[in-house]
Copies of this chain bind each other. A is one copy, B any other.
């Protein structure tokens, strides 16, 4: 995937995060790009009152339920925030090969906090984009 393609997906990811924010959800969004389709989503934890309704789990699960395929071939997952342990488990289980994420999660991130080793199965790409941090910070300031 080239730089322009990545930036275009990140822009779309930002719009989804903003939508989450407007819906009163923690503004985290995900886009799953497969060889012939695209699944987009954002957190639905508040709406469904369920802690497992994280953006990346939603898009992966939607793919699997739609296609009836348990493994996602040739796919890239874009997430605005580093995946938690639960979502990283879902990412590995689904066989995703490329993970792009913007913000580190020092408190709950599977990599930053739990330091799990995934280099043998997953390529992890960090993308710089200051808009997402600002959005997340504003969300928690609003909540106070």
Contacts and interface: CB of A to CB of B under 8 A. Distances in A.
B70 A61 contact: no
Interface stretch (A16-24, A32-40, A47-55, A129-137): A47-55
Contacts of A115: 116
B89 A93 contact: no
Copies in the complex: 2
A89 B85 contact: yes
Contacts of A90: 52, 86
The CB with the most chain B CB atoms within 10 A, among A93, A110, A115, is that of: A93
A117 interface: yes
A64 interface: yes
A88 B92 CA distance: 13
Given A64-B51, A70-B49, A89 B84 contact: yes
The CB with the most chain B CB atoms within 10 A, among A61, A89, A92, A94, is that of: A89
The CB with the most chain B CB atoms within 10 A, among A49, A70, A86, A92, is that of: A86
Contacts of A114: 114, 116-117
A69 to B, nearest CB: 9
Nearest to A48: B65
A83 to B, nearest CB: 9
Interface of A: 49-52, 57, 61, 64-65, 68, 70-71, 84-90, 92-94, 110, 114-117
